[in-house]
Amino acid sequence: EDQVTQSPEALRLQEGESSSLNCSYTVSGLRGLFWYRQDPGKGPEFLFTLYSAGEEKEKERLKATLTKKESFLHITAPKPEDSATYLCAVREGAGNMLTFGGGTRLMVKP
């Protein structure tokens, strides 16, 4: 059974304090690892897709990396507006079903 585990569950940072969020997964035949951002009361907003180990994607202060067993979302010099829940998800096998982790709730204090 696919399993996706995110850590930590919650993370408090000061503005400018860089850190990383972890997403560990166990799937057979990964067909994409996805990162989403979710603000309170909103649906998840797509950030990145990674397909193979060694791949990296960047967007503003965010960089996502992928190994064979985990993905990291690095946040460089975060700002309060980066506060949100970050979700990772994997797609395995045929079809378009995503299996999500429980999310990391990030709080950035000014």
Rounded-to-integer distance, Cα 49 and Cα 92, Å: 13
User: Among residues 45 and 81, whose Cβ is nearest to other proteins?
Assistant: 45
The structure tokens 């067909």 sit at 31
User: Does the footprint of other proteins cover residue 103 (CB under 8 A)?
Assistant: yes
Cα end-to-end distance, the chain, whole Å: 41
Segment 17 to 36, residues that bind other proteins, using CB under 8 A: 31-32, 34, 36
Give the 3-state secondary structure of residue 58.
strand
User: Among residues 94 and 110, whose Cβ is nearest to other proteins?
Assistant: 94
User: Does the footprint of other proteins cover residue 86 (CB under 8 A)?
Assistant: no
Please, which residues have CB within 8 angstroms of residue 39's CB and are 6 or more apart in sequence?
45, 84, 85
User: Does the footprint of other proteins cover residue 83 (CB under 8 A)?
Assistant: no
Q: Which residues contribute to the site for other proteins (CB under 8 A)? A: 4, 6, 31-32, 34, 36, 41-46, 49, 51, 87, 89, 94-103
